[in-house]
Chains A and B, each alone.
Chain A
Amino acid sequence: MAATAAELQTAHGSGSDHVDSHGHSDHPPSSTGLDSRKLVMWAFLASDTMFFGALIGVYMTYRGRSEAMGMGPYPYDIFDIPYTSVSAFVLLMSSLTMVLALAAIQRGNNRGLRVWLTATALLGAIFVGGQFFEFTMFVREGLTLNSNMFGSSFFVLTGFHGLHVTVGVIWLLTLVWMSLRGGIDQSKSLNVEIAGLYWHFVDIVWIVIFTLVYLIPYENVGNGEVTHSAEGAFHFITNAIRSLPF
């Protein structure tokens, strides 16, 4: 039956509030009153934060390293800030359409759900396509995965994020397909909500990456000094604290 589809199964059967002929619920109330599937998504996102934290840490450790060593291409030579800003805007707008999709199904509007989910997936796909084009341009200008430390850390970090968006797009399209088969009604809005949690998280991570990688200006050091990576991270943190307004 499609009605029980696409749910992580809990020990007490499906996550729906199905009440059987004996008049009792299919699953007992949870200790917190929240659905386990929603909680596990939050736990996953906490862990995923550490994944991105580690990658961002690696990027910040090597930030400025290529300039210090005189090994181009450098970020300020190669970044097209207006172009990436537009694709960042596209991704942030997809969070809005995601909210509209959830609001639609919570009101029982199946058509609205499909329209806004498709829009979200489309915006996500535009972002990934834009990233693919951007990568292609960078490679053409000489920045590859192993041309210098900037290239390695940049492609791994943004590529890991792009992979997240791609998984999200596939997930959203799966939800559209389920909805077309009548698998998502008002009582199953949680399916959409959980996908939404993931989607918003991936958007928020992009805000951090976009700021740290693209927006904060790169100093052209060029004195040939290579600092110890731990010291580099330490200096970055102390400099950041010093630059606080208080």
Chain B
Amino acid sequence: MASVAYPTPQSQQGAVTVQKPSSTSGLVSWLTTIDHKRIGIMYGTSAFLFFLLGGLEAILIRVQLARPENTFVDLQSYNELFTMHATTMVFLALMPMSAAFFNYVVPLQIGARDVAFPRLNAFSFWTFIAGAIVLNLPVLASLPGTFTYIFQQIVSSVPVLHLPWSQYVPDQGWYAYSPLTAPMFSGKEVDFWVLGIQLLGVASLAASFNFIITIINMRAPGMTMMRLPIFTWTTLIVSVLIAMSFPAVTIGLVLLAIDRLAGTSFYAPYALVNGQLVTTGGDPILWQHLFWIFGHPEVYILILPAFGIISEIIPVFAKKPLFGYGVMVYATAAIAFLGFGVWAHHMFTTGLAATPTAVFTAGTMLIAIPTGVKILNWTATMWGGSIRFTTAMLFAVGLVSQFVIGGLSGVMHAVSPVDTQHNDSYFVVAHFHYVLFGGTVFGLFAGLYFWWPKVFGRMLDERLGKLNFWLTFIGFNLTFFPMHFLGLAGMPRRYWSYGEQSGWWFWNSIASIGALMIAGSILVFMINVTRSMKSGAKAPADPWDAATLEWSIPSPPPVYNFLEVPQVTHVNQLWYDKYGDDHGGQAITPKPLNVIPAIEGDDHGVHMPNPSWYPMVASIGMLLLALGILIPNPHIQVLFLGIPVISLLGTVIIVLGVYGWAFEPASEPAH
């Protein structure tokens, strides 16, 4: 039966029957790749570039706020900066960086040769790039203008550059509340934002289906669900969150686009008819509901991958199995499940009735329980372990400590009277940066330092790494802790400038110094990466004495990942392979790890699917479809619909891409 016989590599039978596709290096090989490892590297690289862009926006914000009544950037630019800082960090930096880890690590952890649908994976990546392009076209156009304005502050003779499209930078805030997005009060910048997020949603949904099926269906023999590495578990749960929450915002954005393009009033209580304001019955609060039904699960989409990463790192560097593995899995699932029932705590100030307010308050507080369980489990894992404070471990422990601060202020916001006081103040800004920076960014850096040797085959420098960590840690606390004080002192978020008499300047200047420190720490990271690439020590297969399967293969892994598909019998399989146990959990004599070296250019006859152009073609179609709506081009009138020519072309390309994809042979026919 096929269901029992697992294929053995053909080389062991002395015959190589299938030629690998010819191009394995060069631009074309990257454009057409469907290898999860390469896609992971591309996700990581682009996420880091967007992290730099979002960071630059943050620095400009902090410089503007460094002293009272500053005019470093103008009012309009400031609105654009905070909108694009948030949108870029959430959708273009943190989510894709998590996706980079999903892509690279998950198939290796479950002993698979790739994800379940490699071409769909490439499509997700290229559609993400298309969405990023749509979102950032106006930003790129406005950068010269922003910089010349800044130089004008120093040298007054510098003229301010205005490029076409630079006026289309989204400025309505990352959650785009109605009526700021109504056609009456906004321009084309909202359309750029709507279509950009829409494309990113398509990319995320496609990726989430792929990872759900990969994890459910591609596990190595013997790897039951309760033997999955914990990072793979969080990937599965995050993918379910994406699949179930993105539809709400997608529909929300569709209605917004229809409001803007066709003149409906889903979010507009008033409409202009022949110069007269008439009531329509539309409700701006509906947008808030649809946005936060997505937006709150999104918070967990951002934080749970980081939780998964440090749940891998802490056991390795404490040399102890994760405390309460099963409880950890259930806690993650509980956070995700409860996360769907608490969205209205973002909307306490909209005037909900008493019952919903009470329900959402209680629901939000409940989430503190599984989250507290996780904190306890990480602490108990370290308890009594022989801890090695590598950079990865420092970032992981940093997450545990910093996330607790953000989590606790989150519990404060669960109480609606308190939230009413904090809402739209810097206290909230402090809270979510402790969660998203102190949580997600710390976790992602921990993951970068942990898996870097596996991905690139070279070690990162530990001394620079520790400098990187401490600069980040101190800079982060300098930047965001004072924001608690500022918020309680009444400073509202999103204010462009503040007066001398406000008393806010001291903590604001401290925060700005902290932001520069964070920038310095990122610079240290980039120096570390450059040095590692040029002269870093070669990484062995298992530099950390780790517990999961990705460390049993060479660094970097060969294209087929596992020459022999691993057999799994235990939850920390690699530790079991190396140390075994005496059935009482005590380690017995260590066994050396048997790594089968990868031979350059030899695929050992492992049958891998071919590269393909079609995923990128379909994504280019998506890009054109969106651009056709955004940029001026002739329209074709079909019945009551005016269809832009470029969008029509995009649709045709999508159809061609999908059909080409479906009818393309999956791999070259065997000889």
B117 CB-CB contact with A under 8 Å: yes
Asked if A36 and B117 make an inter-chain contact with CB atoms under 8 angstroms apart, the answer reads: yes
- In whole angstroms, what is the CA distance A30 to B115 when docked? 12
Q: Determine whether A149 belongs to the interface, using a CB cutoff of 8 Å to chain B.
A: yes
Residues on A with beta carbons closer than 8 Å to the beta carbon of B2 = 17, 19, 25, 29
Q: Are B264 and A58 neighbours in the complex by a CB distance under 8 Å?
A: no
Q: Quick check: is A46 within 8 A (CB to CB) of the other chain?
A: yes
Write the chain B residue with the least CB distance to A44.
Answer: B209
> Which residue of chain B lies nearest to A49 when distances are taken between CB atoms in the complex?
B247
CB pairs A–B below 8 angstroms (15 shown)? A6-B662, A25-B2, A25-B7, A40-B212, A43-B208, A46-B243, A47-B205, A51-B250, A54-B290, A68-B281, A71-B281, A145-B264, A146-B263, A146-B265, A230-B289
Q: Are B247 and A32 in contact (CB under 8 A)?
A: no
A31 and B4 contact, Cβ closer than 8 Å, known pairs A11-B116, A51-B250, A228-B285:
no
Beyond A46-B243, A66-B281, A156-B264, list 17 extra A-B contacts (CB 8 Å): A5-B665, A8-B120, A11-B115, A20-B17, A24-B8, A25-B7, A29-B2, A30-B218, A32-B216, A33-B3, A36-B117, A39-B212, A43-B212, A156-B255, A226-B281, A229-B289, A230-B350
A68 to B281, CA, bound (A): 9
Inter-chain contacts of B24 with A (CB < 8 A): none
Known: A19-B2, A54-B290, A68-B281. Contact between A13 and B244, CB under 8 A?
Answer: no
Cross-chain contact of A36 among B6, B119, B217, B344 (Cβ < 8 A): B217
Is A54 a contact of B247 with CB atoms below 8 Å? yes
Please tell me which one of the listed residues B119, B252, B607 contacts residue A9 in the complex, with CB atoms under 8 A apart: B119
By a CB distance below 8 angstroms, the chain A residues around B8 are 24
Of the candidates B2, B114, B118, B608, the one having the most CB atoms from chain A within 10 angstroms of its own CB is B2
By a CB distance below 8 angstroms, the chain B residues around A58 are: 251, 255, 266, 286, 290
- The answer to whether A12 touches B113 (Cβ under 8 A) is yes
Q: What mask results when residues 55 to 96 of chain B are scored 1 for a CB within 8 Å of chain A, else 0?
A: 000000000000000000000000000000000000000000
Q: Are B209 and A47 in contact (CB under 8 A)?
A: yes
Query: Are A152 and B117 in contact, with the CB atoms below 8 A?
Result: no
Specify which of A20, A32, A149 is in contact with B281 (CB 8 Å cutoff).
Answer: A149
A152 to B6, CA, bound (A): 55
Contacts of A219 in B (CB 8 A): none
**Are A14 and B356 interface neighbours, CB within 8 A?**
no
Contacts of B279 in A (CB 8 A): 69, 226
Tell whether, in the assembled complex, residue B285 and residue A28 are in contact, meaning their CB atoms are under 8 Å apart: no
Q: B120 and A31: CB pair below 8 A?
A: no
Residues from chain B with a CB closer than 8 A to the CB of A230 are 285, 289, 344, 350, 352-353, 356
Per the bound structure, the CA–CA distance linking A21 and B265 in Å amounts to 64
Q: Which residue of B lies closest to A10 (CB)?
A: B116
> From residue 340 to 391 of chain B, which have CB atoms closer than 8 A to chain A?
344, 350-353, 355-356
Task: List residues of chain B with CB within 8 A of the CB of A46.
Answer: 243-244
Q: How far is the CA of A59 from the CA of B455 in the complex (A)?
A: 49
**B599 at interface by CB-CB < 8 Å:** no
| B185 contact set on A, CB distance < 8 A | none
Contact B118 A11 (CB under 8 A): yes
Interface residues in chain A, defined as those with a beta carbon under 8 Å from any beta carbon in chain B:
1, 4-14, 17, 19-22, 24-26, 28-34, 36, 39-40, 43-44, 46-48, 50-51, 53-55, 58, 61-62, 65-66, 68-69, 71, 145-146, 148-149, 152-153, 156, 226, 228-231, 234
Are A29 and B3 within 8 A (Cβ)? yes
**B residues less than 8 Å from A53 (CB atoms):** 247
Check if A39 sits within 8 Å of B258, measured CB to CB.
no
**A153 CA to B255 CA, complexed, in Å:** 9
A66's nearest neighbour on chain B, judged by CB, is: B281
Task: Select from chain B the residue with minimum beta-carbon distance to A61.
Answer: B286
Chain B min CB distance to A122 (Å): 22
| Chain B residues at the A interface, C-beta cutoff of 8 Å | 2-8, 10, 13, 15, 17, 112-120, 205, 208-210, 212-213, 216-219, 223, 243-248, 250-252, 254-255, 258, 262-266, 271, 279-283, 285-286, 289-290, 293, 344, 350-353, 355-356, 565, 607-609, 662-667, 669-670
Contact partners of B669 in chain A: CB under 8 A: 1, 4
Contact assessment for A152 and B607 in the assembled complex, using a CB-CB cutoff below 8 Å = no
Question: Are B666 and A50 in touch, CB under 8 angstroms?
Answer: no
Docked-complex contact B283 and A228, CB < 8 angstroms: yes
Question: Contact at A24–B7, with CB atoms within 8 Å?
Answer: yes
Given A10-B117, A22-B10, A28-B565, A51 and B280 touching (CB < 8 A)?
no
Set of chain B residues within 8 Å of A61, measured between Cβ atoms: 283, 286
**Is the beta-carbon distance between B15 and A22 smaller than 8 angstroms?**
yes
Q: How many contacting A-B pairs (Cβ < 8 A)?
A: 187
Tell me which residues across on chain B come within 8 A of A4, comparing CB atoms. Answer: 665-666, 669
* Minimum C-beta distance from A165 to chain B (A): 18
| CB nearest to B670 among chain A residues | A20
For the complex, what is the distance from the CA of A131 to the CA of B663, rounded to whole Å? 32
Q: Would A31 and B217 count as touching, CB distance under 8 A?
A: yes
Q: Bound complex: CA of A61 vs CA of B209, how far in Å?
A: 30
Nearest CB in chain B: distance from A24 CB, A: 4
Most chain B C-beta atoms within 10 Å of own C-beta, residue among A9, A26, A50, A145: A9
Asked if B286 contacts A6 (CB within 8 A), the reply is no
CA distance A39 to B120 in the complex (A): 14
Bound-state Cα–Cα, A246 to B251, Å: 34
Contacts of B665 in A (CB 8 A): 1, 4-5, 14
Residues of A close to B205: CB separation below 8 A:
47
Nearest residue (CB) in A for B665 is A4
Complexed CA–CA distance, A29 and B666 (Å): 18
Nearest-CB residue, chain A, relative to B112: A11
Among B5, B245, B252, B279: residue with most chain A CB under 10 A? B5
Residues of chain B within 8 A (CB-CB) of A20 are 17, 670
Bound complex: CA of A4 vs CA of B669, how far in Å? 9
Tell whether, in the assembled complex, residue B209 and residue A28 are in contact, meaning their CB atoms are under 8 Å apart: no
- From residue A133, how far is it (CB to closest CB) to chain B in Å? 13
Assembly CA distance A151 to B218 (angstroms): 47
A104 nearest CB across to chain B (Å):
22
Distance to closest chain B CB from A36 (angstroms): 4
- Of chain A, the residue at the smallest CB distance from B18 is A20
A11-B609, A53-B247 known; A229-B264 Cβ under 8 A: no
Closest to B34 in A: A9
How far is the CB of A22 from the nearest CB of chain B, in Å?
6
Closest 10 CB pairs of A and B: A11-B114, A50-B247, A9-B666, A54-B251, A229-B283, A25-B2, A51-B247, A152-B264, A29-B3, A14-B666
User: A230–B283 Cα gap in the complex (Å)?
Assistant: 10
Q: How far is the CA of A230 from the CA of B243 in the complex (A)?
A: 24
A149 and B609 within 8 A (CB):
no
> Cα distance A31–B265 when bound, in Å?
49
A28: min CB distance to chain B, Å: 5
B565: chain A residues at CB < 8 Å are 28
Who on chain A is nearest to B267 by CB? Answer: A229
How far in angstroms is the closest Cβ of chain A from B642?
Answer: 14
Q: With A and B bound together, what is the CA distance between A24 and B10 in angstroms?
A: 10
- With a CB–CB cut-off of 8 A, which chain B residues contact A43? 208-209, 212-213, 243
B539 to chain A, nearest CB (A): 26
Best-buried of A11, A21, A40 by chain B (most CB within 10 Å): A11
Complex contact B262–A9 (CB within 8 A)? no
With both beta carbons as reference points, the residue of chain A lying nearest to B287 in the complex is identified as A229
Q: Closest Cβ of chain A: how far from B32's Cβ, in Å?
A: 13
Among A6, A26, A69, the residue within 8 A (CB) of B663 is A6
A228 to B357, CA, bound (A): 15
Q: Is the CB of B607 within 8 A of A55?
A: no
**Residue contact A55 to B251, C-beta cutoff 8 Å:** yes
Question: In the complex the two chains form, what is the Cα distance from A173 to B265 in whole Å?
Answer: 37
Q: A54 and B113: CB pair below 8 A?
A: no
| A8 CB contacts on chain B under 8 angstroms | 117, 119-120, 662
Shortest Cβ distance from residue A19 to the other chain B in the assembled complex, whole angstroms: 7
Contact A47 B119 (CB under 8 A): no
Residues of A within 8 A of B212 (CB): 39-40, 43
How far is A48 from B208 in the complex, measured between Cα atoms in Å?
13
The minimal Cβ–Cβ distance linking A117 to chain B, given in whole angstroms, is 17
| Of the residues A7, A36, A148, A231, contact of B666 by C-beta under 8 Å | A7
B208: chain A residues at CB < 8 Å are 43, 47
